[in-house]
Each structure stands twice: as C-alpha cells, then as structure tokens.
Structure 1
Amino acid sequence: MESARRNSKAIKRGDRILTEQPFVFVLQAKYRKERCDNCLQACKVLKCANCQYVYYCSRDCQMQSWSLHKIECPFLKRIYPRTVPDAARMLCKLSIHLNNGGDLVRGYYTETCSRRFRELMSHYGEIKYDARRLEHLESLHAVLQDMMGDSTIVPNLAELTSIYGRLITNGFSILDPEMNSIATAIYLGVSITNHSCKPNAVATFEGTTLHIHAIEDIECLDWSKIFISYIDLLNTPAERRAELQSNYYFLCICSKCTDMQETHEMLAAACPNKKCNAFLDINLNNCPHCDTDVSPKQRNGYNEAMSITKTHLENMKDVAYLDVCKLCLAKQKGFVHPLNVWHIKTLDAAFEAAIDVSKWAEALEFSKELVPGFRKYYGDWHPLLGLLYLKIGKIQLYECQLAEAVKNLKEAQKILQVTHGRDHSLLREQLQSLLAQSIAEASA
C-alpha cells in the first residue's frame, strides 16, 4: 500500500473517515411513487410530466437531476408503463453518465488518492463463466434494448458486461434511518474498502450521502486495515462465505469465518440440564460442560424446531406474522440455545411483527432476549443494535416505563453517535427529542 494512502494521525472510535456523494444512484422502483427520485425523502411527490415514471418532491430536486434525467427521460417514456428493473435502470444511468464525461470523475478516499469508475474491478472473467449472472445480464440487456433502442449510448455486450460487473461487486444499498434498503448506488472512493465479518468501520447514510465511521480505534488512516461488512452478519460462517463467493467472487478468511467455535455457537442446542447454559452440539451424546445425556427425544426436538423455523422464516422474508413467529419460538423452547442464530432471527421477526400490530408488551418481552443476540453477533457498535435500543426506548416511553426508556435511549445515543455521527438527522430529529421527553417525564 503506497504511503499516500496513510495518515499518521490515529483514528478514534466514532471518527468520520470518509464522506462521499454517489457516482450514480437509482431509487428502488417500489418506492418511486412515494419517495423523491433525487433526495430519496418519503413525502408528497409529483411525477415527471414527460416520462410519467419518476417523481420529485420539488422543482429544485427536479433541476438537480436534470443533467442525467433529460437523457434518461425519453428512454423511460418509451418503455412506460412497464416497471424498469432497478439493475437495468442503473446500467442505463451508468451508460449515460460514462458517455457524458463520467469516465473522468474521481472519487477521493484521501486528499490525494482517488478512483475512477474504470478502475473498479469488473470480474469480467468470473462473470463469463457464471451462468446465473449471465442469465441476469441477458435479461437486463433485453430491457435496455427496449428502453434505449438503437441509441449510440448503448454499450456493446462486452462493455456492458464490464459495467455490470463493476455494478454488482461495487454497488451499495442506500439505507434509510431505519436501515431499510431504498436505493442502489455506486460510490467510487469508498470502493477501496474491503470486507470483514468483524469490521472496524461502518457505512451509514444521510439521504444519498455516504459516511464511513470507525467503530474501533485504528492506528492510522491505512485503507488496507479498514474494513466494513458487505453482508448481514446474522448468518453462519458457511452461509456468509457462500454469499460472498457467489456475489463478490472471493472467499472470506477473516477470523470469524475460520473459527469453528463461531459455527458451533450459532447452531447450538440447549442443554437438557436447565441449569447449564453451555452451547451444545446436538450430535454429541453428552454435554461437555455438565455431562448430561442428550436423549433421542432432545435431538429430534432440536432438529424439528430448526427445520420448522428455517421453513417459516424463509416464507416470511417480506412480511413476518406474529402467530407464526410465536409457533416457531414455542417449538424452539427447551431445544434451541437462546443465542442460536435461528432463535435470534425468530425473535427479531417476532419483535418487528409485534410492533406492526401494536403489541407493545410482547415486543418488549422479545427484546429482552434479542439484545444479547444482537450484541453477540453484530458487536457492541453496530447501527442495528443502536436502532434496537431506540425502538425499545420509544416503546417504553409510550408505555410510561420512563426509567427504562431513559436507560435504553441513552444506550441508543451512545451507539448511534459512533455509527452515524452526532450531526445525523436520526439523532437530531428523533432520538434527542425522545430522550429529552423521557427525562422530563421521569423527573416530573
């Protein structure tokens, strides 16, 4: 790593390492009638009178988008009323931008070091032999031809494959304050950041602006030693490695992926001895910690609970149902360890489902087990852990559990100030007012 990438100044937990605007971004199609295509805010929006496809919150946002949209607009009009796949629209906007000087744009990750779009890895060789990716690319190419016709902007198939490769392996999901994915984007500078399942930095968003904050102390600004997670960490090492290999074409060799204990704990059974909290391998005949026998009934109960849980959670990817979550939790009771990753996933789904139907007391019960699971698998300084504390505190304030609300909102503040920065709108506009209200009411 060249010396220009380094800065001798130590980085402290919570420091903002990088701020960047997107090279190209696209609002997810499912949100296009409820969010502004430029600033991504959820508000009253009005559609473009020409293409009838994109929506804006104001004249200012429409004008800010005009340099790209004036070229994209007739393409969207041509295909209307069909919904354009997000990846196809990204390829269209990337092609337009690159054709209009975007190839010269640089994204800086230090004062002097930068990347251009063509310098991102395309994984062209891997994609040529990846049947799944080739099928996807073929379908996107067909959409682009329908949209763009014989426009000179349309790249040839080899060039499109390179652009596609850079998109799928360098793209970011832009997240709203609740950590829901709302858009896809390419950021040039931050593409320098590598993955680890034990990251020391995290990416968060303010609108379309990306921020990288350190969640651990780092000796200096050396990008070879700064890591974020590309994927959800609430999965086993085998699942994480398979996802990274399939989507990013590399095998993760971080300490968490090569530690067999990680898999053992994530899939652990509960010891039949209720006084023993050991992580039990269900295939053993005895608990290594307390020597309690593992009966066939215990083994069958565990296997049944795991099978039912995986099936139901897969079926509830989009919407979680509280009664189904409770059924899974009942099946797990006494058989699955409280920190088994599938138990934590079920609790997470149950917590959100309970909130959706205003079952506040039940949501708080689920959160008691959920917090230790999030802390174990996401770490002490993760946005999702901070947001969990925020949701818990908000419910407790509503339920007049004021002392508990103050405690959890302060914990949320401590974490989110590190992961988002003290000036983020989530803290300024939501958390600080909730905390002030909780303290005021608790003191009354």
Structure 2
Amino acid sequence: MAPRLERFVSPGKGNGLRATASIKRGELVYSAEPLACCVSNKHAKEVCHHCFTRHETLLRCSQCKMARYCNITCQKQAWCDHKRECKCLRSLLPRIPTDSVRLAARIILALLNPSQSSSGEELYPLEEHESHLSSMSEQKKQGLSELASMLELYLQQEVPHLTSALPPSCQEPLSLIAKVTCNCFTISDGELQEIGVGLYPSLSLLNHDCRPNCVMVFEGTRLQLRAVQDINAEEELTISYIETLSLSEDRQKQLEEQYHFTCHCQRCDSQDKDELLLSGAESRWRLLKEALPGVEKLKVESNCEELLENCSHLISTAEDVPDENLYKLRLTDMALDASIQLGLWEKALRYGELTLPVYRRYYPDPHPVHGVQLMRVGKLQHYLEHLQDALDTFRQAYQIIKITHGDDHPLTTDLLMKMEECRAEMDQQSSISH
C-alpha cells in the first residue's frame, strides 16, 4: 500500500483513511486493481470482459455465449479467470445472474486462487468488510437472500461446498452478498458511463462526504484516487458515494438506503445549495418535478425522439424558472443527450451551453462530471466549426481534467489532441483569409 495514506478510526464514522503527509490538489494518492470485477449485464455486448474497452464488435466466448473480448489476446489473458466462471454461466443458461451475484462469485473464485490475490489488500481484508445486515429492513434482507440462493446455485458446479473452501467470514452467502452490495464500486469509462462493478478492498475504507477532497476515476479496471483539494497530513480522505448534484434530503435518503448511515457533512448540515437548487417559483418548477419520472422512463427506453420532444416542451414552458433549478437542469441534460443521439448538433449545442454556467456553480472543486460536460460541449462547438469557442471550452475542461484524471490518462491525451486540432484549423483559416 502506498505510504501516502493509512487506516485510522474516524470519529463517528468507524474505519477511515487519512493522509500520512500533505497532498497537493491533483496528486495521485493511490492506484489499485480490483480483487475481482465484472462487466455489467446491460453493457455485456459492447464492453470487453477483459480490458473493459468499448467496441462496436466483440468476439463472443463460444461456450457460455456471454463473455466478449476485443481480440484473441484479451480472450487468452482472461481465460484463467473466465474458465471456471464459464462453466457456472453454462449451468444456468438461458438465465444470467445479476451483476452482484457474478461479482460475488468472482470474489470467491479469486479467494480460492491464492496466486491471484492482490498484495494491496492488507489495509482492509474482505473478512473485515461490513455487511450491515443488522440495520437492513426485512424487505431488503429478503431480496439479498434471493441473490444468495442464486449465488449458491450458480457456483454449485465449481464450488459445491462454500463453507469448507473459504475464510469463515465469507462462508455465509447472504453475508458475502451484503458485503459486496455495500462495498463494491461502479467502474466507469472515460465519459463517466457505467460499464461494470468491482471490489477494491482497501478503498472500501474511504468515507463519504458530499463535498469530498478526493475523486476516483478509472483507466480500464485500474482505479485511481486523486486529490481535488490540498490535504494536510492526518486529514481524512473522502470521496462521494453518490451523485452530489441533488437536494440534501434526497442525498441523505439515498445514503441511508444504500449504505446505511446518516450523513453529517458540512453540506448536509447547512443544506448548502438547496435554496439555489429549488430557485424559481415553486408552482412553476413543481410541474417539471412531476414530469421527470415519465421523461426518465423514455430515457431508459432509449425513445430519443419522444424524450427530446417532452424535454423541449417542458423547458420552453418554464422559461421563468432559472437554469440553476435542479429539475430544469435535469431536463436540459436529457435534452442534450437526446439531441446528440439524434444527430441534432446545433440543438445539442444550445442545450449544452445552457448547462455550463450551472455546472460551474455546483462544482466549485475540480470534478470529473464538470470536466466531461465541458468536453462534450467543446466537441459540439468543434464539429460545428465554432473554433475559438471550442478551444476556450477545451481549455476550461483541461484545467479540470488534468487534476481529476492526471496528465497520463487517455482522456487528458484526447483533450490535448482536440485543442491541437482546433489551433491547426484556426491557423489554416487565417492563412486562407490572408
């Protein structure tokens, strides 16, 4: 484990991680490969199950028909992990277990293969992870019990006797599934879209804050923890477990339901930004709030035309509601996504540009979400040949991305290349006009 951080008991929170020396904003604090990970079911056909790269076409495992790979090299490298999983998948066909069951099974198979166990686990071995079963509702426990039964059924071929094969704390399928669901991380791609789930044992020690001093980004399956504020020696390192652009009450509810704790961070206790998130006359924005579930359903169904039509209509009827209003911002973001999907570039740019001043207010610290939003708008400006605007937007994105992702991340490289293209095209235009 890197000497930059150490485990400690965080007052009121239990275990935590703190800095052993001062850390500058933008520094890489820690980097780790997962104990186990898997591509999520809903992206199984478009993401390589070994390197987690997106591709239009992938090679499919001829036996389980589920795992997919970029090429023969990825397939061969994945085989030692996939071999036993492949038999398990085949035993359940045509059913496919949920992401949490597949991840729990991969953790068990990794624990049974000591040669693969990661050296980065010494701070927080799986045995110590919290299951939170005692604080769960009966309904949630029932749901987890069903997943635990599915896990046993799934592993029957390969690990018929869980109890004798594993460390005592991992022998109980219900407890293991609960630990996985409370402690796993969503793995995302460069555009922050979810592609999989993984367990990074030592980083499960990180506590939550709604204005954290660190962020996590991924390069493939490797997790990178970077500081987004200057951190003093002995100061606790924090991340946000959830998307923080929501009301204090909604954040609290989500953290309580998903992670079983009440957040007492400065943002929650002061209800910071709640007034701004609900700016405008309530009679006007309540209509937007009530329309959101139906609009989000269209997004899930990928019904882009109807989605854009609904969003455009709602936004135009709420002109007097400020752009900072949470519900208007969500609709504007969905209108941007739908316009991009439909190839309506000018409309997409109009919606994208509306969101930028709002993101700037809501993300005072460098944040990957803000950086990626700037990049998306910059790409639209570039495509529509608004070259000076694009270059300015890319520069703003770079100021954030170099801190949240570091200089070596593929996203940073991509951004620098875009800036270079803008400059070259502007030079070309000025030489033609002269």
TM-score of Structure 1 vs Structure 2, range by shorter chain: 0.7 to 0.9
Classify 1:181/1:102 alpha carbon distance in 2 versus 1 (closer, same or farther; 3 Å): farther
Judged with a 3 Å threshold, the aligned counterparts in structure 2 of structure 1 residues 159 and 102 are, in CA distance, closer, same or farther, namely: farther
Which of 316, 325, 345 is 1:330 aligned to? 316
1:86 has 2:69 as partner: no
Letter in 2 for 1:133: K
- 1:202 deviates by 0.4
1:219-298 paired onto structure 2 within 5 Å: 219-220=232-233, 222=234, 225-270=236-281, 282=282
Matched, 1:417 2:429: no
CA 219–74 in structure 1, closer or farther in 2 if over 3 Å, else same: same
Specify the SS of the correspondent of 1:136. Answer: helix
Summarize the Cα distance change of 1:52–1:364 in structure 2 as closer, same or farther, 3 Å threshold: closer
Matches within 5 A, 1:102-121: 105-107=118-120, 114-121=123-130
How far does the alpha carbon of each residue in 1:149-182 deviate from its partner, in whole angstroms, 9 at most, with x for none? Answer: 3654553697112211211111101001111000
List runs of 5+ in structure 1 lacking aligned partners.
271-281, 283-298
Amino acid at match of 2:199: I
Contact 2:110–2:117 (8 Å) recurs in 1: no
* From 177, 200, 218, the counterpart of 1:187: 200
In structure 2, the CA distance between the partners of 1:204 and 1:2, relative to structure 1 (3 Å rule), is closer
Letter in 1 for 2:91: R
Q: Is the 8 A contact 2:255 2:263 kept in 1?
A: yes
What's 1:217 paired with?
Answer: 230
User: Residue by residue, what CA displacement relative to the aligned partner does 1:312-334 show, whole Å, maximum 9, x if unpaired?
Assistant: 33553453521111111123222
Does structure 1 retain, via aligned residues, the 8 Å contact 2:398–2:415?
yes
Deviation at 1:196, TM superposition (A): 0.6
Q: Does 1:22 align with 2:5?
A: no
2:363 to 364, 378, 381: 378
SS at structure 2 position matched to 1:256: helix
Residues 358 and 52 (structure 1), Cα distance of their counterparts in 2 relative to 1, 3 Å cut: closer
Tell me: CA distance 1:338–1:155, structure 2 relative to 1, closer, same or farther (3 Å). same
Q: Secondary structure of 2:266's match?
A: coil
Alignment of 1:158-173 (within 5 A): 159-173=172-186
TM-score normalised by L of structure 2: 0.86
Aligned residue in 2 for 1:286: none
Structure 2 match to 1:59: 72
Shift of 1:6: 6.0
1-side partners of 2:117 and 2:425: how far apart?
A: 56
RMSD (Å), alpha carbons: 2.5
Tell me the secondary structure at the aligned position of residue 257 of structure 1: helix
In the aligned structure 2, how far is the partner of 1:377 from the partner of 1:234?
A: 7
1:12 paired to 2:24: yes
Distance 2:28 2:200 in 1: 16
Tell me what 1:147 maps to: 154
Indicate conservation of the 8 Å contact 1:195/1:229, yes or no: yes
- Match of 1:182, SS state, is strand
In structure 2, distance between residues paired with 1:144 and 1:195: 29
Mapped contact 1:25–1:186 kept (Cα < 8 A): yes
The structure-2 alpha-carbon separation of the partners of 1:62 and 1:368, relative to structure 1 and needing over 3 Å to count, comes to closer
Runs of 5+ in structure 2 lacking a partner?
1-6, 10-15, 164-169, 429-434
Question: In percent, how many aligned pairs have the same letter?
Answer: 28
Aligned residues: 406
State the Cα distance separating 1:46 from its structure 2 match.
1.9
